[in-house]
Amino acid sequence: MRFLEDLNSRQREAVTATEGRVRVIAGAGTGKTKALTYRYAYLVNVLGIDPANILCLTFTNKAAAEMRSRIALMVHSGDYNDFVCTLHGFCVKFLRKEIYRLGFPKSFTILDEDDAKTLAKECMDELGIKRTEKTVRKFLDGIAAEKALNGYIEAYMLPESRISEEMRRTGNLVCYASRQMKGWALDFDDLMNFTLFILDRFPDAREHWQEQLNYIMVDEAQDCNTDDWNLIEKLGARHHNIFVVGDPDQCIYEWRGAKPARFVQFASDKDIVLDENYRSTPKILDIANCVIANNKNRIPKDLFTRRSEGPAVIHFHGRTEKEETDWIVARIRTLLDAGASLQDIAVLYRSAWQSRAIEQALLSEQLSYVIWGGIRFFERREIKDTLGYLRLLANPDDDMAFLRVINTPSRKLGRAFLDRLKEDAARDGRSLYPTLLAHAGEYGKPAAEGFVQLIEKGREAVGKVSVSDLMNRMLEDSGLKRAIREDQDEDRLENIDELLRSVRFYEEAHAEEEPTLSDWLQDIALYTNADYRKETRVIKLMTIHQAKGLEFPYVFIIGLSEGTFPNMRTIREYKKNGEEEERRLMYVAVTRAEKALFLTESEGFNVSTKMSKYPSRFLAEIKKNMVVVEGTIPEELWRGTRNLVHVLDEENYVPDVLGAAMAARTAADGFSDERAAYNSPFRIGATVCHAVFGEGTVLSASSDYSTFQVRFADGSTRHLRASFLSLPDLPE
């Protein structure tokens, strides 16, 4: 019982209230997960419950691993089994035992995202759905929506399901499901749906599991969706020992169907509230409390801590992204010099594409890092594909690059074709591409000839146009970008945009040397070839979603610009709810930090959001005396932030209003028009200001949005460059 002394009295209450329906509802870092793991140890060590009778659930694999290792410290090894897992992890274990009831083998396979897409494409081909007509992503969304309705398992996915050829030819789901059946393959939705189906359909299975699982515990319960709740309630329906812990302020998966209301309305026998935070310094907590207080849709609560003050939270503003990453690296050096270890440091960001800049900075400084739950930027598929094209242009003998891109996007040049090409190359003593160039007409493959034309056209442009233009052309002409667009894979599109943007930065920085394609490729080889050992002492980089439930002594939250964080797409789609969910994400990010917190952002142009960068509204919400600002933030930047938020509040959010002015300016600075055209105009009808002519109303915009026709108060109209116009000041 000694170990209970580590807990405060309310946590102890949570640990020892083992019977009935118990809920712990509390803010970040108050020891919810700690209480849950101690409860597990209490059940096993003190009450003598067999771990096989305890189900302990959480959301991410990382969090489950963390939970297992915490439990392992308290419970004899071998005494805890693998029922400490994620919800989907449990479904897999369940199905391995039970799926025979549906005629599936125990060794059924699980489709990951890529597998599911491949399957979807096969179906679309079979059904004669053009990929342009309906994207692969939409097709899969449709499948998921159909699967959310009851009945599909019985109708299509059991050996006794009767599926006629006619049905297969007409229904998307029928086609998809019967292809799945061929390989006994389940996708992620099926794992949950099959589990629920078996529990419903087979009373003996249901009774067996209900009997076995004496205790059910769920961490991060605010993120459970309807199916998750149904599963939990069903499994707990016999013993009624359900222990749920969560924090509604940390619900960050509503976009995926999380139902925090189910947690708030959970019919509990006992509620325990924790309010002392043990993780963070008061300065960090102040920021968390201050930001989350701006959410209207929440139950107000404040956290307190008895920890010592600690260093001030720093907001760094860089004039360029390079300044931002340089500052971060310098800070990391200072921390290391002061005795911190690499693994104490975490860099968090909103979206995966944001890792590129910081990765390059860390690689240059030879600071080891790992991306948790993700892939290094230069190893991402779309980045390697894009670089493959450019490498082939720079060096036609690069066989690796050739093999990477010849069928990306698919040109249906199969193995037989490649084998023959390789033979010819060996015979001629040439590399692959030169062989193809010499013999293209002989293979009877128009696609191969098309490929040669594509590469030759690109090679002609080498040296004549900038690297970024070349990259842009190859992305378009090769069809690579179109293929990704058709997949509606926003993450991959964002990565490509980010690569393109980084080339533009490189060109700007090396403008005097007029860098060639080879120069650039050599320069980034440092990043693309960086060999790294699997080390444990490394800096951790991850998206905020991945960081949920975890804690780190030193935390950097980077790229805090409007549009990036809060994410513009989320706000556009979900309006106020979207903004609140983004703010909860900010709350999660801030509350990961134990000893020190650094918030960073910079000026510039953001290709991904297609607008110029202004400090995030979340930074604006922090009281001035709560952070120390490093770097000077021009007042007009804060005005930009306020304008954006104001426009959003009016419910006619045109996010690029301010971007247009900046884009026009950058266009004038020598960027291509294409980039300016990315931008939306000032709204037609919007009120704008001119230094000389005063206020006016926008009547129309030129096709590249660089010039606007404005009518002024005296009735006169003029065509004016965007950079000479601004939005009127708003009241503070």
Nearer to ligand ATP, 7 or 517 (CB): 7
Let me know if 130 is a catalytic residue: no
Question: Which string of b and e fits 108-125 if b means at least 16 CB within 10 Å?
Answer: beebeeeebbebbbebbe
Nearest CA to 246 out of 82, 545, 30, 8 is that of 30
Instruction: Look up residue 60 and give its DSSP letter.
Output: S
Residue 428, C-beta contacts closer than 8 angstroms, at least 6 positions apart: 435, 438
Q: What angle do CA 540, 546, 548 make, to 5 degrees?
A: 105
Q: Which of 259, 540, 583, 592 is catalytic?
A: 592
CB of 66 to ligand ATP, least distance (A): 9
Q: Binding ligand ATP by CB under 6 A: which of 14, 15, 22, 28?
A: 28
Q: Which stretch binds ligand ATP (CB under 6 A): 4-12, 133-141, 339-347, 645-653?
A: 4-12
Q: Which of 187, 190, 219, 344 is catalytic?
A: 219
Nearer to ligand ATP, 8 or 268 (CB): 8
**62 belongs to the binding site for ligand ATP (CB under 6 A):** no
Q: Binding ligand ATP by CB under 6 A: which of 34, 147, 331, 380?
A: 34
CB of 30 to ligand ATP, least distance (A): 4
Cα–Cα distance between 502 and 499 in angstroms, integer? 5
**Which option in Mg ion, ligand ATP, none does residue 31 bind, with CB closer than 5 to 8 A by kind?**
ligand ATP
**584 belongs to the binding site for ligand ATP (CB under 6 A):** no
Q: Binding ligand ATP by CB under 6 A: which of 32, 391, 445, 642?
A: 32
Cα–Cα distance between 486 and 119 in angstroms, integer? 15
Q: Residues 519 to 578: which contact ligand ATP by CB under 6 A?
A: 549, 551
Both tokens of 629, joined, read 């600002």
**726 belongs to the binding site for ligand ATP (CB under 6 A):** no
CB of 32 to Mg ion, least distance (A): 5
Let me know if 222 is a catalytic residue: no
**Which option in ligand ATP, Mg ion, none does residue 318 bind, with CB closer than 5 to 8 A by kind?**
none
Q: Binding ligand ATP by CB under 6 A: which of 7, 111, 390, 541?
A: 7
Nearer to ligand ATP, 149 or 299 (CB): 299
Confirm if 609 and 601 have CB atoms less than 8 A apart.
no
In the complex, residue closest to ligand ATP by CB: 31
Confirm if 492 and 382 have CB atoms less than 8 A apart.
yes
Cα–Cα distance between 199 and 152 in angstroms, integer? 16
CB of 451 to ligand ATP, least distance (A): 51
CB of 92 to ligand ATP, least distance (A): 24
Let me know if 219 is a catalytic residue: yes
Residue 228, C-beta contacts closer than 8 angstroms, at least 6 positions apart: 87, 192
Phi, psi of 230 (to 5 degrees): -60, -40
Both tokens of 652, joined, read 């006619």
Q: Residues 236 to 295: which contact ligand ATP by CB under 6 A?
A: 247, 250, 278-279
**Which option in Mg ion, ligand ATP, none does residue 247 bind, with CB closer than 5 to 8 A by kind?**
ligand ATP
Helix axes 355-364, 517-528, angle to 10 degrees: 80
Q: Which stretch binds ligand ATP (CB under 6 A): 5-13, 171-179, 374-382, 696-704?
A: 5-13
Nearer to ligand ATP, 347 or 387 (CB): 347
Q: Which stretch binds ligand ATP (CB under 6 A): 2-10, 121-129, 199-207, 534-542?
A: 2-10
Confirm if 110 and 186 have CB atoms less than 8 A apart.
yes
**Which option in ligand ATP, Mg ion, none does residue 279 bind, with CB closer than 5 to 8 A by kind?**
ligand ATP
**33 belongs to the binding site for ligand ATP (CB under 6 A):** yes
Let me know if 33 is a catalytic residue: yes
Query: Could you tell me the maximum CA-CA distance found in the chain, to the nearest angstrom?
Result: 86
Instruction: Point out which residues pair with 245 in neighbouring strands.
Output: 24
In the complex, residue closest to Mg ion by CB: 33
Nearest CA to 507 out of 385, 355, 670 is that of 670
Nearer to ligand ATP, 274 or 663 (CB): 274
Phi, psi of 688 (to 5 degrees): -130, 165
CB of 59 to ligand ATP, least distance (A): 11
CB of 90 to ligand ATP, least distance (A): 20
Cα–Cα distance between 211 and 236 in angstroms, integer? 9
Nearer to ligand ATP, 157 or 547 (CB): 547
Q: How far apart are the first and last CA of the chain?
A: 57
Let me know if 343 is a catalytic residue: no
Nearer to ligand ATP, 246 or 696 (CB): 246
Q: Which stretch binds ligand ATP (CB under 6 A): 31-39, 89-97, 235-243, 297-305?
A: 31-39
Nearer to ligand ATP, 279 or 610 (CB): 279
Let me know if 491 is a catalytic residue: no
Both tokens of 399, joined, read 């066989």
Both tokens of 314, joined, read 């720093």
Both tokens of 301, joined, read 């609560």
Nearer to ligand ATP, 242 or 664 (CB): 242
C-alpha dihedral over 99, 105, 107, 111, to 10 degrees? -70
CB of 592 to Mg ion, least distance (A): 11
Cα–Cα distance between 387 and 471 in angstroms, integer? 9
CB of 360 to ligand ATP, least distance (A): 30
**11 belongs to the binding site for ligand ATP (CB under 6 A):** yes
Residue count, binding to ligand ATP (CB under 6 A):
18
Q: Which of 10, 21, 23, 32 is catalytic?
A: 32
Q: Which of 30, 33, 386, 641 is catalytic?
A: 33
Question: Which string of b and e fits 608-642 if b means at least 16 CB within 10 Å?
Answer: bbbbbbbbbbbbebbeeebbeeebebeeebebbbb
Nearer to ligand ATP, 411 or 584 (CB): 584
How many Cα atoms within 13 Å fall on the side-chain side of residue 74?
A: 23
CB of 328 to ligand ATP, least distance (A): 23
Question: Binding string to ligand ATP for residues 590 to 609, with x set by CB under 6 A, is what?
Answer: -x------------------
Q: Which of 220, 344, 579, 581 is catalytic?
A: 220
Q: Which of 250, 354, 570, 600 is catalytic?
A: 250
**30 belongs to the binding site for ligand ATP (CB under 6 A):** yes
Residue 23, C-beta contacts closer than 8 angstroms, at least 6 positions apart: 243, 244, 245, 263, 266, 268, 270, 271, 272
Which residues are at the interface with Mg ion (CB under 5 A)?
A: 32-33, 549
Q: Which stretch binds ligand ATP (CB under 6 A): 32-40, 557-565, 644-652, 711-719?
A: 32-40
At residue 245, what is the residue type? V
Confirm if 38 and 74 have CB atoms less than 8 A apart.
yes
**Which option in ligand ATP, Mg ion, none does residue 8 bind, with CB closer than 5 to 8 A by kind?**
ligand ATP
Cα–Cα distance between 583 and 248 in angstroms, integer? 12
Cα–Cα distance between 402 and 6 in angstroms, integer? 60
Nearer to ligand ATP, 29 or 659 (CB): 29
Q: Is 357 exposed, middle or buried (0-12, 13-18, 19+ CB in 10 A)?
A: buried
Instruction: Point out which residues pair with 369 in neighbouring strands.
Output: 539
Nearer to Mg ion, 549 or 615 (CB): 549
Q: Would you name the residues annotated as active-site residues?
A: 32-33, 219-220, 250, 592
Binding site for ligand ATP (CB under 6 A): 6-8, 11, 28-34, 247, 250, 278-279, 549, 551, 591
